[in-house]
């Protein structure tokens, strides 16, 4: 892709656009829409379970997820150490009840009712220490929501890992469950799957679509339309079969 395709489009006045680096996903980048919608569904699902709560969104990145959570929560604090992402989030997402703090996840120490940590635990060298810290911040009965990609569907066939340079460790379902159970007594694991048009696309790939579209010269015209049209309704959360899931979402109750 050209450089312009990696940069956010149409940002509000006074908000500097961010550029894709592979470390985090971004809204407002048409070529990135598949990944954005994939993560957005999970944030919306969690938001429905956070009505009236005090929520911390750890490693909040660009800030869109904190804004989604704030649509239902009483208060949301988005925490991220990256100076560009922090400045962008503060300038862009200004609804009442949401604020952004520039801090490391292991240093931030404000208590909360719910804690969200999506698509980041695979970046950590000491994930257990992070889970212990999150548990210490939760009020009794509080919930942490932690997601990570499934290495079995993220990595190329036959490869041990995806090759993403930001990932320290990529998990299988049982490995991720065991990690969570070492630090929380009540663990529920869900999987994120393709639905609707993305499920139809999967079936088309099985039928040989990847061999056909280059021969017909349709690759760029098709995906220039298909990718920006993907929405959260093209994904679904359910409990099985986890080995086929795109991402795992752990619900961890204190």
CATH number at residue 183: 3.40.50.150
Q: Is residue 31 part of a domain?
A: yes
At residue 200, φ and ψ (nearest 5 deg) are -65, -40
Q: Is residue 15 part of a domain?
A: no
Q: Is residue 142 part of a domain?
A: yes
Q: How confident is the model at residue 1 (pLDDT cuts 50, 70, 90)?
A: very low
Q: Is residue 162 part of a domain?
A: yes
**Minimal CA–CA distance to 250: which of 153, 195, 171?**
171
CA angle, corner 54, sides to 53 and 58, nearest 5?
125
Q: Tell me the per-residue pLDDT of 180-226, one tens digit each, with 9 for 90 and over.
A: 999 999 999 999 999 999 999 989 989 998 888 988 888 998 899 99
Q: How confident is the model at residue 228 (pLDDT cuts 50, 70, 90)?
A: very high
At residue 77, φ and ψ (nearest 5 deg) are -115, 115
> Which domain does 114 fall in, by range?
3-7+26-194+236-253
CB 80 within 8 Å of CB 102? yes
pTM of the entire structure?
0.94
Mean pLDDT confidence for 229-250:
97
CA angle, corner 229, sides to 240 and 162, nearest 5?
50
Largest CA distance in the chain: 59
Q: Is residue 35 part of a domain?
A: yes
**Minimal CA–CA distance to 24: which of 59, 56, 58?**
59
Separation between Cα atoms, residue 224 and residue 217, nearest integer Å: 13
CA 207 to chain centre: 30
Q: Is residue 174 part of a domain?
A: yes
Separation between Cα atoms, residue 188 and residue 94, nearest integer Å: 33
Neighbouring CB atoms inside 10 A of 180's CB total 23
Q: Is residue 157 part of a domain?
A: yes
Q: Tell me the per-residue pLDDT of 138-176, one tens digit each, with 9 for 90 and over.
A: 999 999 999 999 999 998 887 888 888 999 999 999 999
Q: Is residue 146 part of a domain?
A: yes
Separation between Cα atoms, residue 146 and residue 114, nearest integer Å: 11
**Minimal CA–CA distance to 145: which of 56, 35, 75?**
56
CB 142 within 8 Å of CB 251? no
Q: What is the pLDDT of the chain when averaged over all its residues?
A: 95
Structure tokens at 98: 């949401």
Question: What is the model's pLDDT at position 5?
Answer: 77
Overall domain count for the chain: 1
Mean pLDDT confidence for 41-67:
98
Residue 103: pLDDT over 50: yes
Q: How confident is the model at residue 29 (pLDDT cuts 50, 70, 90)?
A: very high
């Amino acid at each position: 892709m050209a450089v312009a395709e990696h940069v956010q489009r149409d940002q509000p006045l006074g908000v500097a656009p961010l550029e894709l680096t592979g470390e985090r996903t971004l809204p407002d980048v048409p070529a990135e829409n598949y990944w954005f919608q994939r993560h957005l569904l999970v944030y919306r699902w969690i938001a429905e379970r956070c009505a009236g709560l005090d929520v911390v969104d750890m490693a909040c990145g660009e800030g869109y997820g904190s804004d989604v959570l704030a649509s239902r929560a009483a208060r949301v604090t988005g925490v991220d150490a990256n100076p560009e992402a922090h400045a962008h989030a503060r300038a862009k997402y200004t609804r009442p009840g949401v604020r952004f703090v520039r801090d490391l996840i292991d240093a931030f120490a404000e208590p909360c009712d719910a804690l969200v940590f999506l698509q980041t635990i695979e970046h950590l060298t000491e994930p257990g220490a992070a889970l212990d810290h999150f548990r210490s911040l939760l009020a009794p009965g509080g919930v942490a929501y932690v997601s990570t990609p499934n290495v079995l569907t993220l990595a190329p066939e036959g490869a041990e890992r995806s090759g993403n340079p930001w990932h320290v460790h990529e998990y299988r379902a049982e490995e991720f469950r065991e990690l969570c159970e070492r630090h929380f007594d009540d663990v529920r694991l869900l999987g994120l799957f393709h639905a609707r048009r993305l499920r139809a696309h999967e079936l088309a790939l099985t039928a040989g679509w990847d061999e056909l579209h280059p021969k017909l010269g349709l690759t760029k015209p098709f995906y220039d339309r298909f990718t920006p049209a993907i929405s959260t309704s093209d994904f679904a959360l359910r409990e099985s079969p986890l080995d086929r899931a795109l991402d795992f979402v752990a619900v961890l109750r204190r």
